[in-house]
Structure 1
Amino acid sequence: MKRNRMANEEITKRGVLIADHSQNMAALVAVMLRSLGRKDIREAYDANKAMTELKRRVFDVLIIDDALDGMDGVAFTRKLRASTDCQNRLVPIIMMSALPDAKRIAEARDAGVTEFLRKPFAANHLLARLTSIETNPRSFIEAEQYKGPDRRRRTVDIGENERREAGKAS
């Protein structure tokens, strides 16, 4: 049986932090990651422990539940993205949620979440998000109202129809 592994842990050279209030769910996600070839996996079960881990060492990916104890995932993401003293403020974030609606997914995106997973999900869904992070890295944007990965997923050549002043000047 051939497993779908990424060569030499390309995405998670420095590890993955799973932040979920449910120890069972965190353990399940860890099993999925191990089946994909990941080895360096840490778990945190509340917002304080997750932030402590993020300040302690560098991670390549944060997988966070929207219903994290102590602070929901969207608020946690906003706090992390604004923490200029945290070495992981630019880390790609995959948010998991059991009952997300379009509004909540938009809030997560606007807070700086990189990818989103609806629970329940399979290892191949997680692999798709990890692969997206690796193959399509997005620039980090710092603006007054937003700090996080560029929300645009593709670039479009608009030719000579540029209407913005900044676009005309170049």
Structure 2
Amino acid sequence: MLLLEESPMGMSILVQILTGFGAKTLHRCEKVEEAKDAIGKVEVDLIICDALGASGAGYDFVEWLRGSRIEPNCYVPVLLTAGHTPSNAVARARDCGAHFVMAKPLTPIAVLERILWIAREGRRFVECDTYMGPDRRFKNEGVPSGMVGRRRDDLHGDIGQAETPNMDQEVIDSLMKTRRVEL
């Protein structure tokens, strides 16, 4: 796992959270140059990167990572953190190729939820002239009404009403029970 965080306090919090989850190998980088050097030398399975203040060097790093074509690291999931997440920062994180953006302060449960979400979601990677990164669509609700599908795996636009209940109440209740998670 690679961590890019320029603040010593922020790095300390990230390290404590991740070692608490059982992470063994953490590559800690305070500067973008260190992170770029590490990407070329070691294979990582997750990057947690700070936006790096007003300069936005963290966004630029993620964009560089995606465009670098250094396999397999150019495809690694990226969790971007930022002190402020207005809609333009979220859009910038999405457009640079990050999987998710989180507002600080970070809590262990929020970080764990995002890591598990990234692992479960398994979004396809999109590679084109202007963008490389995870598919920006979160849901596949089919082709918009009145439109012809563009992809083989698009759902049919006319889904219709359910004829029978999809799940009975016991199944729904079991999904709501708290469970212990082990990594």
Tell me if TM exceeds 0.5: yes
* Residue 144, structure 1, aligned to residue 137, structure 2: no
Q: Distance in 1 between matches of 2:102 and 2:144?
A: 35
Partner of 1:63: 48
Q: How big is each residue's C-alpha offset from its partner over 1:109-163, in whole Å with a ceiling of 9 and x where there is no partner? A: 0110001110002000000110011111111100111110011111113488433
Select the structure with the greater relative contact order (CA < 8 A; seq sep ≥ 6).
1
Partner of 2:10: 25
- SS for the counterpart of 2:47 is strand
Contact 1:18 1:44 in 2 (8 A): yes
* Bigger Rg, which one: 2
Equivalent of residue 85 in structure 1, options 66, 70, 81: 70
Counterpart code for 2:4: A
Alignment of 1:88-103 (within 5 A): 88-103=73-88
Runs of 5+ unmatched residues, structure 2: 155-183
Q: Distance in 1 between matches of 2:147 and 2:121?
A: 25
Q: Distance in 1 between matches of 2:124 and 2:111?
A: 21
Partner of 1:130: 115
Q: Distance in 2 between matches of 1:70 and 1:100?
A: 15
RMSD: 2.3
Percent of paired sites with the same residue: 24
Contact 2:85 2:102 in 1 (8 A): no
Shift of 1:55: 1.0
Runs of 5+ unmatched residues, structure 1: 1-15
- Report runs of 4+ in structure 1 exceeding 6 Å deviation: 68-71
Name the TM-score, length of structure 2 as normaliser: 0.76
Aligned CA distance change for structure 1 residues 68 and 82 (closer, same or farther; 3 Å): farther
Name the TM-score, length of structure 1 as normaliser: 0.82
Aligned CA distance change for structure 1 residues 70 and 104 (closer, same or farther; 3 Å): closer
Aligned CA distance change for structure 1 residues 37 and 103 (closer, same or farther; 3 Å): same
Aligned CA distance change for structure 1 residues 163 and 92 (closer, same or farther; 3 Å): same
- SS for the counterpart of 1:89 is helix
Partner of 2:35: 50
